Structure 1
Amino acid sequence: MPDLFIFYLTHPAMNEHFLHHLWRFKLYQPGLYKTVKGEPIDIIHPGFHNTDAGPDFFNAKVKIGDTLWAGNIEIHQKSSDWHKHGHHTNRAFNNVILHVVTRHDREASTANGTIVPTWIMEIPPPLMAAYQQLKQSRHSIPCLHGIKQVDPFVISTWLERMMVEKLEIKVDLIQQLLKRYNNDWDEVLYVLLARNFGFGINADPFEQLARQTPWRVLLRNSDDLLRLEALLLGQAGFLTGLVAEEAYIQRLQKEYHHLRHKYGLSPMPAYHWKFLRLRPSNFPTIRLVQMAALFHKNRLSLDKIMKAPHTKTLSAMLNVSLEGYWLTHYRPEAPSPHKIKRLGPRSGDLIIINTLAPLVYGYGQLRDNERLKDLALHWLESIAPEENAIVNRWRNMDIRINSAFQTQALIHLTQKYCRPKRCLHCRLGHLILASHSSADR
């Protein structure tokens, strides 16, 4: 396997993870194993992977000759790496019972002078080739060709794990926001919802707006739609420096001037907002007045959201239409043809997917309420699949996709595992590699 070992040497970081994976799951070449000194070896238990400093695996069990040893395992490509890494002077490695390598070029000894038994782990050539193919793949999904051999049930269960993992990341973010906002769940809802109203391209400025415009100020003025529009548009910087000729914009400017001084507010620079290559219905100005209409109409709260039995109820809460001035404008002082501007059902679905479901799941997680966690998952399962480039790639690989639950899981899988090529940490990647090994598993 000379060519494959050249691949090893040019990718040392991947090599280490790969060797750990082989040892952990016993994917090495089957046979009768012997140390470099000819003593028979029986690997009873590989031990537990150590992600901190010290030996690679703890509490392993290995029989060498007639003696059963319990202790630690250290793994290297070359046995001389033991001395290169300074293990021969580090007492943390005194309890290593076996040195696992792919090439032996030097004896390993501990700080107390004991020679460590060394075993050369042979790798099945088909498995090595499969790993090389995954790591060198130029596809955004490296297992593009190998995934067809994976049981659909296994794929389904892994996607469930991916969805939960993604939600757990969201829970960590929610916890951070709760600390920042004194455990006010409704203010956290407001910040997350504002970010969602950016729908990707304007997510950051929307979040900045929410952080600069306190929830209590929004709440105190939620009974008046004009004030809400003035507050949000003014804080976004769209009313500052504008020489208005239209009466409605003049009213908004006057109202914002009053609110700004009353609450000591500071507007954002308007240049933070992006309009280029956006459809007019997605302009941040329209999204801002839609958000104002949403808080005016429904005065959204986490309590109301958690009482929604299904997504139809949530969609009804999110169903807002703009009236009056905004029927003929997408931006202040820029007339346009008359058009009804609703927060469409697809936009509503995205808000449920990205904000409401994660927030309810997070509340259930932090309050130990399984019913709410199940409710959030049920919402995701009841929403139609998203349509985007990532989802289409998986669909072209004959992966059955029936709901937003699955599309969110696939997006997480692609972004966190496939693109950074963390195939060894992926259940699907592991099974594809294992299928190329004849070792007992």
Structure 2
Amino acid sequence: MTEDYLHFAWKNRLYENKVMIADSGERIEIIHPGYYNRDAGPDFSQGRVRIDGQLWVGNIEIHVRQSDWNVHNHGTDPAYDSIILHVVYEIDTDQLHRKNPFPTIELKAILDETRFSWYQQMINSGLNFPCQNIVGGIRHETIETWLERMLIERIERKTEELTLSQQPDDWEEIMYQQIARSLGLSVNGDPMKWLALSVPFRLATRYRDSQNQLEALLLGASGILLKEDIFEDQQWMDFRNEYQHLQRKHQIKALPYSVWKFFRLRPASFPTLRISQLAAIIAKHPLMFDQLKEANTPKAYFDFFKVEASEYWQTHYSPGKYSANVKYKLGKNMIHRILINGVFPVLFAYARWNNDEGLQSRILNDLHQLESEKNRITEHYKFAGFPMKTAGHSQGVLHLHHNYCRSKKCLNCAIGNTIISGYPAPTTDS
């Protein structure tokens, strides 16, 4: 038996008797199990029980064994002085260190052990996620509602990361930094954001009318332009000369070249190409945040990111290295990633900061206007019966997988709750 499962069983009243006899001989009637406490202190608050006919309201503590009270030193913690009931799976001692007396009830004889065994079988099934072979029997509305909750949790977590890392007093800068980071994907995301911090948006927009100056500024600050063993053609030398002037003027400190990753990347994902595309976005949109806040259709978002690398990169994939004439535009999948990981979290953070519920709802709706992401994880869930039509669905599934399924937190999941509470259910056999 585990304490987590006891919490679940107590909260959902998965025991046979409503009236029980405590270790003290008192008659215990459960009126309400209380509200689960995820913070420090007793497990449930505002529980309502009748003890020999007298109604008590207060905290309830749950353990696998009675002796766990002593093991956890609750008797010396003032937070536990107001306990009205102790609930355990097994009473293994009558010697408790406590300031005030309280009754203890044992659940061992009245819990459905087969339900617990089945739950254990499910979480240890070895499948891609615990309920993979069962979830198909769950009502569609239950899954949809929980995925929407997961989507909100995911975007709120990204929002918290934004507002905790910086004061949200310049939304243009924040949007610029997050777009830069998204352009770098997981491999070069951090260096791209460091570059945006090194060359702030307000400085970059001063050179938006000169693609050559703007690109030289960003390439120089990235440290890539200064690498000595890179082959220099005329354009690369022009970039260097321009950057030397801008560096002295603005006292820019370049990033070390070593932070950038090129290995195993396709040329279209090289940092040089992404930096050129970032320069094109800056040149096209001097007010990134305001324009994206007003965009409210997939077409408007995609039109915003209709940019391509500068002319030099149409015939080069690396400094001095020629390639076939290719216009390196931002593709549909790349724009999806920028919107999902960069734009929408910033707009949602702004909406939360300004209590704009309308904008919050719009961002969630916008996620459901985009196609779902396709990867190994989303395909597993789609095959099992999860809806996977929109980016809202795929983002919800990714949050569910990484924060619940992978760590077997079925007891904290509405889908898992439904399955376990509704036992017996289909087997998890492969």
User: Are 2:169 and 1:183 aligned?
Assistant: yes
Residue 145, structure 1, aligned to residue 129, structure 2: no
Gaps of 5+ in 2: 426-430
Post-superposition offset of 1:434: 0.7
Once structures 1 and 2 are overlaid, which stretch shifts more, 116-125 or 98-107? 116-125
Structure-2 residue corresponding to 1:208: 194
Change (3 A) 1:378 1:47: closer
What secondary structure sits across from 2:50 in the alignment? strand
For the pair 1:233 / 2:219, whether they are aligned, the reply is: yes
| Cα separation, 2, equivalents of 1:53 and 1:403 | 38
2:49 alignment partner, one of 50, 62, 66: 62
Q: Shift of residue 109 of structure 1? A: 4.4
Contact 2:24 2:103 in 1 (8 A): no
Residue 130 (structure 1) aligned with residue 112 (structure 2)? no
1:422 maps to what in 2? 409
Displacement of 1:55: 2.4
Q: Deviations over 1:144-168 (max 9, x none)?
A: 1221232110100111111111111
Q: Calculate the TM-score normalised by the size of structure 1.
A: 0.90
Cα pair 1:109 1:116 within 8 Å, conserved: no
Answer whether contact 1:94 1:110 (CA < 8 A) is retained: no
Whether contact under 8 Å (2:66, 2:93) holds in the other structure is: yes
Give, as a single letter, the amino acid of the residue that structure 2 aligns with 1:156: E
Q: Does 1:383 align with 2:376?
A: no
Choose 135-144 or 182-191, whichever is displaced more: 135-144
Give the aligned length: 423
Give the deviation of 1:140 after TM superposition. 3.8
* Distance (whole Å) between structure 2 residues aligned to residue 209 and residue 35 of structure 1: 65
Is the contact made by 1:98 and 1:119 (CA closer than 8 Å) also made in structure 2? no
CA contact (8 A) 1:127 1:436 kept: yes
User: Relative to structure 1, is the Cα distance of residues 16 and 246 closer, same or farther in structure 2, using a 3 angstrom cutoff?
Assistant: same
Output the amino acid matched with 1:247.
Q
Rounded to whole Å, the distance in 2 between the matches of 1:330 and 1:252 is 16
Please give the alpha-carbon distance, in whole angstroms, between the structure 1 residues aligned to 2:103 and 2:18: 22
User: 1:314-339 CA deviation, whole Å, 9 max, x = no partner?
Assistant: 11110112342211111112222222
Indicate the percent of aligned positions where both proteins have the same amino acid: 35
User: Do 1:110 and 1:116's aligned partners in 2 also have CA atoms closer than 8 Å?
Assistant: no
Once the two structures are superposed, the pairs formed by residues 150-161 of structure 1 within 5 Å of their partners are 150-161=138-149
Structure 1 residues 113, 264: closer, same or farther in 2, change over 3 A? closer
Q: RMSD of the alignment, in Å?
A: 2.2
Letter in 2 for 1:232: L
Deviation, 1:89, is 4.4
Matched residue type, 1:175: T
CA contact (8 A) 1:82 1:108 kept: no
Residues 305/113 of structure 1: CA separation in 2 closer, same or farther (3 Å cut): closer
Q: Where does residue 435 of structure 1 map in the other structure?
A: 422
Partner residue of 1:194 out of 155, 167, 180: 180
| Distance of 1:143 and 1:290 partners within structure 2 | 43
- Report the Cα distance in structure 2 between the residues aligned to 1:115 and 1:173, rounded to whole angstroms: 43
**Aligned letter for 1:106?**
T
Q: Which amino acid letter does the alignment assign opposite residue 280 of structure 2?
A: A
Report SS of the residue matched to 1:394.
helix
Q: Secondary structure at the match of 1:77?
A: strand
Q: Does the 8 Å contact 1:97/1:117 carry over to 2?
A: no
When structure 1 is superposed on structure 2, of 283-292 and 99-108 the one drifting more is: 99-108
